[in-house]
Amino acid sequence: MQYITPLWPAFPEIFLLAMACVILIADLFIRDENRGLTYFLTQLTLAGCAALTWVTASNEPVHTFSGMFVGDLMSDVLKLVTYFGVISILVYARDYITLRGMFRGEFFALTLFATLGLMVMISANHLLTLYLGLELLSLSLYAMVALQRDSAQATEAAMKYFVLGALASGMLLYGMSMIYGAAGSLEVTRIAGVIADDGAKNVVLVFGLVFLAAGIGFKLGAAPFHMWLPDVYHGAPTAVTLFIGSVPKLAAFAFVIRLLVQALGVEEIQAHWQQMLAVMAVLSLIVGNITAIAQTNIKRMLAYSTISHMGFLLIGICAGGLNGYASGMFYAVVYVLMSLGAFGMILLLSRQGFEAENLDDFRGLNHRSPWYAFLMLLLMFSMAGVPPTVGFYAKFAVLQAIVEAGHVWLAVIAVIFSLVGAFYYLRIVKLMYFDAPEDTTPITPRGDAQWLLSVNGLAVLAFGIFPQPLMALCASAILASL
């Protein structure tokens, strides 16, 4: 047995952990008026992680820590997108959290720990590390939701999130213990080997799979396990909602790929989980798109829109094969880009004592700021899947994969409910362009947030016109990892 493991594949994780501890300590010695230094250090840490991930990236999968950690192209790509996402979140959220008294060291430390949890999940090759990464992420998020202590709404959201999250973790652990009982190992590659050798006749395996699917459904926020999502999105401070609603979906995608595809990807087992995922996908599309119509709060509306997007993501994974998984990964990345933009817009329109979270707050945005209205138009078109934005291409790739896999009925349902969903996205466009503004306060966000939001909005358009490089990257990442 090899005791001295190569540490270099995990350098980004090690660096992030060390820096998170440094920031935690350094913050104690920083005065309130210099709190910007903590912010700057946090951004620098994330940039450093990106550089390290770039340097240590390798085409061949590298295993270390006794096979518990894997560094492959998929993990590198997903991690880089995660860093980009977290950096943007902090830029968008800076003004918002300053005005609401959350611009404290703990916010940054918890953000970094949550990011570490995401990275651990993305690179996990062992059910134990998958679970621990998930818990690290969830615990940090529960605390971040409750950080606004005097808000009853935020406390309630944190409580709901905590209780349901614990329930989901219990399900997941129960399923994992069944898998361990059937396969005799927790390592992803070894489970796959055992199942391939023994055949998949074991009922215990499928029994555990049911619990795993339920746990994954909870964490992704797919119907019928979606109940926590609207309340948590609504109750949490928007800066935290931005976090919950964006980057964790990348890790959730990696979770599904590692657990279902890499460990339980044998054809007979695959048929079982494909059925479960298909049911969850269809329910998510129906519940998400129809309930979103009735919402007047844009955070709740985006929560239901997340549910429907997760339905699409699951359809991509259901399709299976290189095309299916690649389209799923593409969808996850694009979803993160879109939700960053949409929640970032809510953050930028908010100001002291005012949350731009109702649909009416978007009324007549075109008169107040034509550029913001245009960016929001791009983001909403992309979420609805209108060409030439990238949302169209993401949906198109998923549908193509599922039709190729022979499940035409799933594609038909997805298209029908995307049409239903287009209604509530276009309603925002209508409010912005054809209604008179109720609120004429000038919009004055920070310069960097303004620039980043513009880049984010235009990226949705640019990737829509030239989707090929990103799609090719996703395809080669999946190819290198499977």
Partner 1 sequence: MSFQTFIFYFLSTVLVISALGVITARNPVHAALLLVLAFFTSSGLWLLLQAEFLAITLVLVYVGAVMVLFLFVVMMLDINIARLREGFWKYLPMGGVVALLLVVEMGMILTSRSVGFGDVPQPPPLPSNLSHTKELGRLIYTEYVYPFEIAAVILLVAIVAAIALTLRKRKLDKYMDPATQIAVQRKDRVRVVSMASEARLDADSAASAEKPADATAGKESKPA
Closer residue to partner 1 in complex, CB, 174/374? 174
Q: Is 143 in the site for partner 1 (CB under 8 A)?
A: yes
- Minimum CB distance to partner 1 smaller for 139 or for 473: 139
Distance CA 178, CA 13 (A): 30
Residue with Cβ nearer partner 1 (33 or 438): 33
What distances in angstroms separate CA 262 from CA 161, 238, 259, one per listed residue?
A: 29, 35, 6
Q: What are phi and psi of 364, to 5 degrees?
A: 65, 30
Please measure the distance between the N-terminal and C-terminal CA atoms of the chain and give it in whole angstroms: 25
Output the smallest distance, CB 264 to partner 1, in A.
Answer: 17
Q: Which one of 80, 106, 180, 462 is in contact with partner 1 (CB under 8 A)?
A: 106
3-22: contacts with partner 1 (CB under 8 A): 3, 10, 17, 21
Question: In the range 147-166, which residues lie near partner 1 by CB under 8 A?
Answer: 147, 149
Closest distance to partner 1 from the beta carbon of 67 (Å): 9
Out of 11, 48, 61, 104, the only residue in the binding site for partner 1 (CB under 8 A) is 104
Q: Is 180 in the site for partner 1 (CB under 8 A)?
A: no
By CB under 8 A, is residue 29 in contact with partner 1? no
Pick from 70, 110, 247, 386: which binds partner 1 (CB under 8 A)?
110
Judged by CB under 8 A, does residue 479 bind partner 1?
no
Among 80, 139, 443, 480, binds partner 1 (CB under 8 A): 139
Q: In the window 384-443, what residues touch partner 1 (CB under 8 A)?
A: none
CB of 44 to partner 1, least distance (A): 20
Q: Report in angstroms how near the CB of residue 479 gets to partner 1 at its nearest.
A: 27
Segment lying near partner 1 (by CB under 8 A), choices 52-60, 134-142, 259-267, 427-435: 134-142
Nearer to partner 1, 14 or 37 (CB): 14
Q: SS3 string of the chain?
A: CCCCCCCHHHHHHHHHHHHHHHHHHHHHHCCHHHCHHHHHHHHHHHHHHHHHHHHHCCCCCEEECCCCEEECHHHHHHHHHHHHHHHHHHHHHHHHHHHCCCCCHHHHHHHHHHHHHHHHHHCECEHHHHHHHHHHHHHHHHHHHCCCCCCHHHHHHHHHHHHHHHHHHHHHHHHHHHHHHHHCCCEHHHHHHHHHHHCCCCHHHHHHHHHHHHHHHHHHCCCCCCCHHHHHHHHCCHHHHHHHCCCHHHHHHHHHHHHHHHHCCCHHHHHHHHHHHHHHHHHHHHHHHHHHHCCCEHHHHHHHHHHHHHHHHHHHHHHCHHHHHHHHHHHHHHHHHHHHHHHHHHHHHCECCECCCEHHHHCCHHHHCHHHHHHHHHHHHHHHCCCCCHHHHHHHHHHHHHHHCCCHHHHHHHHHHHHHHHHHHHHHHHHHHHCCCCCCCCCCCCHHHHHHHHHHHHHHHHHHHCCHHHHHHHHHHHHHHC
Minimum CB–partner distance for residue 277 and partner 1 (Å): 20
Nearest to partner 1 of 139, 322 (CB atom):
139
> Is residue 243 involved in binding partner 1 (CB under 8 A)?
no
Among 23, 41, 52, 68, binds partner 1 (CB under 8 A): 68
Closer CB to partner 1, residue 109 or residue 333? 109
359 interacts with partner 1 by CB under 8 A: no
CA–CA gap between residue 482 and residue 478 (Å, rounded):
6
Q: How far is the CB of 128 from partner 1 (least distance, A)?
A: 5
Smallest gap from residue 231 Cβ to partner 1 (A): 19
Which single residue is written with the structure tokens 């949409």? 342
Cβ-based nearer residue to partner 1, 27 or 361:
27
Interface residue with partner 1 among 8, 11, 24, 37 (CB under 8 A) is 24
Nearer to partner 1, 133 or 421 (CB): 133
Residue in 39, 96, 113, 253 binding partner 1, rule: CB under 8 A: 113
Surface-to-core class of residue 124, CB atoms within 10 Å of its CB (0-12 exposed, 13-18 middle, 19+ buried)? buried
How open is the CA angle 70-122-225, to the nearest 5 degrees? 140
| By the rule CB under 8 A, 129 interacts with partner 1 | yes
Binding test (CB under 8 A) with partner 1, winner from 152, 203, 293, 455: 203
- The binder of partner 1 chosen from 39, 92, 96, 142 (CB under 8 A): 142
Rounded CA separation 327/13 (Å) = 27
Number of residues that bind partner 1 (CB under 8 A): 37
Whichever of 128 and 479 has its CB closer to partner 1, that residue is: 128
Report the interface residues with partner 1, using CB under 8 A.
1, 3, 10, 17, 21, 24, 65-66, 68-69, 104, 106, 109-110, 113, 116, 120, 126, 128-129, 132-133, 135-136, 139-140, 142-143, 146-147, 149, 182, 201-204, 207
